[in-house]
Amino acid sequence: KYRRELQLRKKCHNELVRLKGNIRVFGRVRPITKEDGEGPEAANAVTFDADDDAVLHLLHKGKQVSFELDKVFPPQASQEEVFQEVQALVTSCIDGYNVCIFAYGQTGAGKTYTMEGTAANPGINQRALQLLFSEVRGKAADWDYTITVSAAEIYNEALRDLLGKEPQEKLEIKLCPDGSGQLYVPGLTEFRVQSVEDINKVFEFGHIKRVTECTNLNEHSSRSHALLIVTVRGLDRSTGLRTTAAGFGCVSSGKLNLVDLAGSERVGRSGAEGSRLREAQHINKSLSALGDVIYALRSRQGHVPFRNSKLTYLLQDSLSGDSKTLMMVQVSPAEKNTSETLCSLKFAERVRSVELGPVSRKAELGSWTSQEHLEGDSPGSTAPPG
């Protein structure tokens, strides 16, 4: 029964992809906060259309600029409402799809609020894991699922484990030698989570680690990309086969990548020097590499420049083929932020308003394999939580 259901869902998915592509760009506008001050600088510069939830208008230097995205969330949108629009994407990783959700925007625009949220009002990360657990429990009679999580950070193009014992160690990205075209990171800790309590433990652990290792977590997190990688592996109890987007009988699984990106503000232009400048250059480079990759994928170009940054290389197999991507562009509504808001919305439009090219054979076939780059040793097995 589940197999038929999956085939049907896959058919619907293929049809949607053919029509709209598999990349969505949402916008979320945070409320005006105390930090915005009280004067004209804190005046609201963003307005919405009552009858079109995909449009927003920005008042910039006396002119109104309008943008159309796939969906726009106004300041009053709750975490729950946002998650409702993301749910289907999250659960598709149970069916073997790879999914990426990015929060993009200048520092203070609400990226972390959307992904992590607060204890009272959790964001996408926690809601996604909770939903995965309840979905998987519902199928437990026929399917044996394993859910694991990893947390990593990319700072100055160096990748490090946020859950590991050796946090300072720089990790490398390698191609699986099994010919699947999947990438993996030897040494990246993978915790097997079996309950909501387990997730909370993992989140706390990762968070405490980041707090104790940084003199200023806010500053540090605005200059690094934070990734939460959730892998869902399913085993059909009756046949012993695993599920993947490509069908049955394969040995791969679905991955959900939840990414809180580094701040997109243009630091380099304000005369930064030394390490500040280096950080800014790395951030600019990786964010534009991400934009280029999404642009190339959406326009179905033959060559996709995954290798131009650690971030896109790490996420290569979750961005290509029949993977699904959501870019959540966060903006501030305050007058003083309008030039950064404009930049973020232009980024959003650039990756969205691409003409969809013809569906390539590769995209139809599913996974993106490049076996000629085979390297590294076999995937290391990592310890479950102690």
If DSSP codes are grouped into helix, strand and coil, which group holds residue 44?
Answer: strand
Binding mask 205-244 for Mg ion (x = CB under 5 A): ----------------x-----------------------
Using CB under 5 A as the binding rule, whether residue 112 contacts Mg ion is answered as yes
Q: Give residues 304-343 in contact with ligand ADP (rule: CB under 6 A).
A: 330
Options 108-116, 130-138, 145-153, 193-201: segment touching ligand ADP (CB under 6 A): 108-116
Residue 112 Cβ vs Mg ion, minimum distance, rounded to whole Å: 3
Residue 214 Cβ vs ligand ADP, minimum distance, rounded to whole Å: 14
Options 28-36, 143-151, 338-346, 360-368: segment touching ligand ADP (CB under 6 A): 28-36
Using CB under 6 A as the binding rule, whether residue 122 contacts ligand ADP is answered as no
CB 192 within 8 A of CB 202: no
Closer to ligand ADP by Cβ: residue 101 or 132: 101
For helices 124-138 and 196-213, give the axis angle rounded to 10 degrees.
150
**For residue 278, what are the contacts with CB-CB under 8 A and spacing of at least 6?**
156
Report d(CA 143, CA 162) in Å as an integer. Answer: 30
Using CB under 6 A as the binding rule, whether residue 109 contacts ligand ADP is answered as yes
- The residue count for binding ligand ADP (CB under 6 A) is 13
Binding mask 208-237 for ligand ADP (x = CB under 6 A): --------------x---------------
Report d(CA 364, CA 375) in Å as an integer. Answer: 26
Using CB under 5 A as the binding rule, whether residue 330 contacts Mg ion is answered as no
Report d(CA 234, CA 2) in Å as an integer. Answer: 12
**For residue 321, what are the contacts with CB-CB under 8 A and spacing of at least 6?**
98, 245, 362, 363, 365, 366, 367, 368
Closer to ligand ADP by Cβ: residue 7 or 118: 118
Closer to ligand ADP by Cβ: residue 105 or 291: 105
Report d(CA 28, CA 214) in Å as an integer. Answer: 28
Report d(CA 91, CA 124) in Å as an integer. Answer: 13
The single residue among 6, 9, 33, 180 that binds ligand ADP, judged by CB under 6 A, is: 33
Report d(CA 86, CA 80) in Å as an integer. Answer: 10
Residue 338, marked binder = no
3-class SS letters over 194-247: CCHHHHHHHHHHHHHHHHHHCCCHHHHHHCCEEEEEEEEEEEECCCCCEEECCE
The single residue among 21, 108, 254, 291 that binds ligand ADP, judged by CB under 6 A, is: 108
Instruction: Point out the annotated binding site for ATP.
Output: 105-112
Name the residues that contact ligand ADP, by CB under 6 A.
Answer: 30-31, 33, 105, 107-113, 222, 330
Name the residues that contact Mg ion, by CB under 5 A.
Answer: 111-112, 221
